[in-house]
Structure 1
Amino acid sequence: MITNELSSFSVRPEPKTIPLTQATLLSRIRESRITDRTPVKKLKPVVMVGQSTFARRGDFSVITGQRKAGKTTVLQFVVATALLEEIPLELDTLQIRAEYCRGNDVVYVDTEGSKEDTQDFIKGVKSLIGSSEQPAHLHTYHWREFTAKECREGMDILFTEHPNAHLWIIDGIADLVNKPNDEEESNQTVRWIMSMAGKLDTCVVLVIHENPTKAGQEAKLRGHLGSELERKASGAIGIEKDRQKGEHYIKSRFLRKSADFDPIAFRFDPQTNRPVHRILTASERAQLQDKNRIRIGELMNLRSRCFLNTASKAERELKDSIKLYQNATTGKDAERALCNRNLAALLKYNLIREEQTAEGYVYHLIDTEGAAIEFKIGQSNE
């Protein structure tokens, strides 16, 4: 057992019978140990929305939305503000501000649009920063014709080509996997992105589509990949469009190390075709946030039922409880999919905490500060 090898590692030389790969793992395990006195580098904010931190150095964040919602516009402001040391007073950034790149590379990879779309993205950035030429440290790539394998291998090459990049944008991440619903492939891809962001000490922003939803339903990111991205990301924002009003909204889905920002509204000026920010009224902000309030209320009720008389549950036990108390569905596959969405939402809204143990995942009730709730006999969780 690794545990036995590890416990004896400090009292005798490494046995020659241990394979090199296992010896390397044991060494890495020892190096990974963290105490309350271990010097830990804090992840610095890179992209702010309003006064809130959306993306950090050494981690990845997610931008999502349905087709034509306005994701490209938001990305242009992220890139443009990263290229500007000072923001001109006349430039309306939609409350988006990226840390200045200081001459380090900013890399944009487009896996979805046409070559014309990618070039239009560059032109939009140039217009925002007031430049007639593409900055030398803005590197843009068009990979629409690449296979998923080529996209993944291409990113490994780019990470080597731009080791000191300030900011990465992959638009969209789903093209780096063969099947966004493949659990193993999706998990491996997310772990790889997390690893590269940490190793390169850089900020990675990923773009993924939302599945179409009915009115009042919570938007769900595409496939298992989307669920895993949202669970592991430093932050996630959603872009929505009200087609009747011709207005777009930037909304906080969740921010791991910051308070949510109020929804931001913008529309395109018909004269200049430039996005213009509009201040929302209090009632408009409340209306836009109602869907989240309703959803969180539903989840809190589900949590109370699932954790009745206990503060912790193993994964299988919790999933059985969720299936018992969630809204009825038709068919085993639909029931399982809804259960997975509800579990992901409980984690997303910080209503429970996930812990990986030797026996598998365990889920705990947590308070508003993220600490586990201590349960006492006779106490109710409602």
Structure 2
Amino acid sequence: MIKSKQPESGTVIDFTELWQKSRLLITDEFVSPPVIVKVDDSIICTLGNFSASTGKAKSKKTFNVCAIVAAALSNSTVLNYSASLPEGKRKILYADTEQSAFHCLRILKRILKLADLPLDQQPESLEFLSLRKYSPKIRLAIIEEAICHTEGLGLVIIDGIRDLAYDINSPGESTDLITKLMQWTDERLVHIHTVLHLNKGDDNTRGHLGTELNNKAETVLQVTKDELDKDISSVSSMYIRDIDFNPFAFRINSIGLPEPVEDYHPKQAASQKGFDYHEVPEARHQEALENLFADAELISYSSLIDKLQKSYALVGYSFGVNKAKLLKVFLENKRMILKDDKSYRFNLDFHF
């Protein structure tokens, strides 16, 4: 029997017991996880999993999340979200890490209006936490305490998951945080929906935390402000395990609530910005960058684009100058290359 004492908590872990509990047999039977949120026939959220809304600053991500919460609160359809939380899992926890208490109250009122509920009475099934004033470690502990001690909890919103980490580019911290989400959803049979920003220079989620979120989430929704009409935001799936849904759009009406935009057709240009995360596999990035920096530790920007084109062509990917510039932004955002004064160097410890 192998046991280990964890230095952080002093807890003794029996790895033999964990090994036995982790065994999966062909004779095991499991019930499909309950679906709690859909868009048309597409499954967005199930109990025991987590998802995310992402978008650039001011794209109206929180308005989109308010619609999801209002649908879950009323077990009805709001915007294009149809919610059906089962009996015994009807409670909702909303944790906001960014806004002041004043602005959090506006969000809460918006949710109640969308759910057609009175504004002078707190719903028993909804708890709202304003966590802006706390450190990332304390925010995480408060959310964990609420999740573990709220009976009947079905849906958890973490609006600002970036604020639960000190460094979103830390592979270790990002993995630990995503592991927490998987632990909470598995042990408490809840769904957690998070909110994370996209990079300014492209359409990739921010940092190593964003990469881990994309890899593990059930669904990642992308909220995009329309280029030709700034009052309109569209919602599409960046990643989804289920069948995809047709993008839809909303605008903010005269009373400050999101309402559907009928017959919306997304602008293709918006979805084609930036360098696609899936366009080149990690191994090919590694090979190309090793070739690029084989003869010099530092490369100036003036020669970087040309050298990127040549090194990626050697591994089977030919890019024009504009695409190579987008690639450079992608590599920098992912911290695969690091800027050192006016030159760039290869980050051997990058996390794809």
2:235 & 2:288 partners in 1: Cα distance? Answer: 31
Task: Tell me what 2:340 maps to.
Answer: none
1:46 & 1:322 partners in 2: Cα distance? Answer: 43
2:178 & 2:94 partners in 1: Cα distance? Answer: 18
On the 8 A contact 1:181/1:223 being kept in 2, the answer is yes
Alpha-carbon deviations, 1:216-274, whole Å to 9, x = none?
x4x11121111111111111001111264121101110111x1111111111233x333
1:251 aligns with 2:236: yes
AA of the residue aligned to 1:211: N
Q: Aligned residue pairs: how many?
A: 298
On the 8 A contact 1:44/1:56 being kept in 2, the answer is yes
After the TM superposition, which residues 179-218 of structure 1 pair with which residues of structure 2 at under 5 Å, given as runs? Answer: 179-213=167-201, 217=202
Task: Tell me what 2:146 maps to.
Answer: 158
1:273 aligns with 2:256: yes
1:117 & 1:234 partners in 2: Cα distance? Answer: 29
Higher mean Cα deviation, 174-183 or 127-136? 127-136
On the 8 A contact 1:164/1:200 being kept in 2, the answer is no
On the 8 A contact 1:322/1:339 being kept in 2, the answer is no
1:231 aligns with 2:219: no
Deviation, 1:53, is 1.1
Task: Tell me what 2:99 maps to.
Answer: 113
Aligned pair in 2 of structure 1 residues 212, 319: CA closer, same or farther (>3 Å)?
closer
Alpha-carbon deviations, 1:117-161, whole Å to 9, x = none?
110111111112222222112100101001011111112211222
Aligned pair in 2 of structure 1 residues 139, 337: CA closer, same or farther (>3 Å)?
closer
Alpha-carbon deviations, 1:281-339, whole Å to 9, x = none?
5xx347368628x966x956x46xxxxxxxxxxx7x55433544266579x99857659
2:111 & 2:331 partners in 1: Cα distance? Answer: 45
Task: Tell me what 1:96 maps to.
Answer: 81
1:128 aligns with 2:114: yes
Aligned pair in 2 of structure 1 residues 160, 243: CA closer, same or farther (>3 Å)?
same
Task: Tell me what 1:9 maps to.
Answer: none
Task: Tell me what 2:292 maps to.
Answer: none
- TM score, norm. by length of structure 2: 0.75
Aligned pair in 2 of structure 1 residues 20, 189: CA closer, same or farther (>3 Å)?
closer
1:175 aligns with 2:163: yes
Structure 2: tracts of 5 or more residues without a match: 6-11, 290-310, 338-352
Aligned pair in 2 of structure 1 residues 85, 35: CA closer, same or farther (>3 Å)?
same
2:225 & 2:216 partners in 1: Cα distance? Answer: 26
2:32 & 2:133 partners in 1: Cα distance? Answer: 39
1:23 & 1:127 partners in 2: Cα distance? Answer: 48
AA of the residue aligned to 1:73: F
Task: Tell me what 1:378 maps to.
Answer: none
After the TM superposition, which residues 1-382 of structure 1 pair with which residues of structure 2 at under 5 Å, given as runs? Answer: 14=1, 18-19=2-3, 24-86=14-76, 93-100=78-85, 102=87, 104-132=90-118, 133-213=121-201, 217=202, 219-242=203-226, 244-245=228-229, 246-256=231-241, 258-270=242-254, 272-280=255-263, 284-285=265-266, 287=268, 291=272, 299=278, 302=280, 318-321=284-287, 323=289, 324-325=311-312, 335=331
Report the aligned-residue RMSD: 3.2
Aligned pair in 2 of structure 1 residues 33, 75: CA closer, same or farther (>3 Å)?
same
On the 8 A contact 2:206/2:333 being kept in 1, the answer is no
On the 8 A contact 1:180/1:225 being kept in 2, the answer is yes
Alpha-carbon deviations, 1:196-224, whole Å to 9, x = none?
110001111011111212xxx4x111211
- TM score, norm. by length of structure 1: 0.69
Aligned pair in 2 of structure 1 residues 336, 172: CA closer, same or farther (>3 Å)?
closer
Aligned pair in 2 of structure 1 residues 269, 335: CA closer, same or farther (>3 Å)?
closer
On the 8 A contact 2:207/2:333 being kept in 1, the answer is no
